[in-house]
Amino acid sequence: MTVETLGGTTPVRTPLRWRVPLGPNGPLGMLVDPMTWRAVPYLLVSVFYGLACFAFLASVVPASLVMVLVWIGLPLLALTMLAWRGAAMLERRFLRLAFGVDIPSPYRPSEGDNLFLRWKDMFVDPATWKDLLYLLLLLPIGIAEFTVTAVLWVLGLGLTFAPLPLLLAGQPMTPIGGLPIDSGPRVLLCALIGACFLLAALYATRGMAWLHVLFGVALLGTSEKNRLAARAAHLRASRARGVDAAEAERRRIERDLHDGAQQRLLSVAMDLGRAQAKLDSDPDAARELLAQAHRGTKAAIAELRDLARGIHPAILTDRGLSAALSSLAARAPVRVDLSVEVSHRPPPAVESIAYFVVAECLSNLAKHSEATEAFVRVSREGQRVIVEVYDNGVGAAVPRPGSGLAGLADRAATIDGTLSIDSPLGGPTMIRAELPCEW
């Protein structure tokens, strides 16, 4: 078994845009920021997506409304609404790829049990009509973004590189207004004007990206009231799951005490009573009973120690997550590679949940997965601790109600964390927990 532990001194790499002169909002910061180069193609291409959506909606929606008079327009209108909802969902993906903004789905869940009631729920959902408004406005906004982006970047790049033929081949160029670039001062002037246009292009690109994100969040996202209501509902559900998990843990401890240590201590008491009765009449039998009581006492102590470790291991409190996970990996029946990359100790609740995620996964690995090796990685990403457990077993891990994996999900939910399981039939299995350090 090999255990590799990386201690808690891993340096956090600062993004390049924060290390250049003038910082992330300066020209160099804008230039090296990947978001700038993701935004440029979006601003140039979104006009064509907006044109396609506008052409479709401008032709199909009026036709559907007219044909509603003869009833055939109702199914056509329903299909059209599904189509523009799909286009809005695709646009949310585009915005996430281009600007890194994640816009959650704003749609109300449908409670209808047939197609008509579901369509009615979709019809009365304000998010449906906000999607329509966004797609209709995308064309004029896209035209403006395309024009500004194309003009500034073309002029900037064109004027900046216009002197190259003169510098490389001695051939002057005439980029604007018939004024040839055939001397040193004109080369410098042209390059300076081009640099100014490039600077304007950088800031215009980021400004339009910021405005487009606000536009998208306003129409494609949910309202602040709905976000707060959804957040409150999520927190209530998380706390309820936490209460259920705590109650299940209490019942497990009671059961383990009753069926394990309590029964052993009762047997010890009976053996001691029998030994006391035979101490004078049959000393040999009394000594055997005392030895049996001694063995039972040690077994009860071992069970109590295991039970205490299952509640909260002392090594986790005393030495931290790295040492506690190293102890788990050392006791695992298969080879475990362990990597702990946490610069500062997270809150005790996060440490405890991370520990039990790994403990449960390694326990399942030994019982069910038929794996020969496992990899455990714990890292810090911003204000979240990420726990990943991978094994090469047979897969098919499912968080059934009452199972250990379901209990882990409930534990994580108590601090607003999440647990995801990727375990196809035949393996491998990857279990990932994201645990916020602030909640």
Give the pLDDT of residue 89. 92
Q: Are 144 and 207 in contact (CB under 8 A)?
A: no
List alpha helices for 162-183, DSSP H: 164-169
Q: 99: closest CA among 210, 200, 202?
A: 210
For the chain, residues with pLDDT lower than 70 are: 1-17, 23, 112, 163-187, 223-224, 226-227, 230-231, 234-235, 237-249, 252-254, 256-262, 302-313, 401-404, 438-439
3-class DSSP state of 12: coil
Q: 433: closest CA among 377, 366, 393?
A: 377
CA atoms within 13 A on the CB side of 314: 4
Give the pLDDT of residue 107. 82
Give the pLDDT of residue 108. 79
Q: How do the residues of the chain divide into helix, strand and coil, expressed in percent and rounded to 5?
A: 65, 10, 25
* Distance of alpha carbon 367 from alpha carbon 242, whole angstroms: 26
Q: 145: closest CA among 274, 50, 246?
A: 50
What is the token pair recorded at 97? 């790829």
Backbone angles phi, psi at 254, to 5 degrees: -60, -45
How far does Cα 319 stand from its chain's mean position? 29
**Region label for 234, one of left (φ > 0), alpha (ψ between -120 and 50) or beta (otherwise):** alpha
What is the token pair recorded at 23? 């910082």
Q: Checking DSSP bridges between strand 335-341 and strand 373-381, what pairing results, if any? A: parallel
Give the pLDDT of residue 179. 58
The total of other beta-carbon atoms located within 10 Å of residue 410's CB is: 21
Give the pLDDT of residue 1. 38
Give the pLDDT of residue 406. 76
- Residues in a beta bridge with 309: none
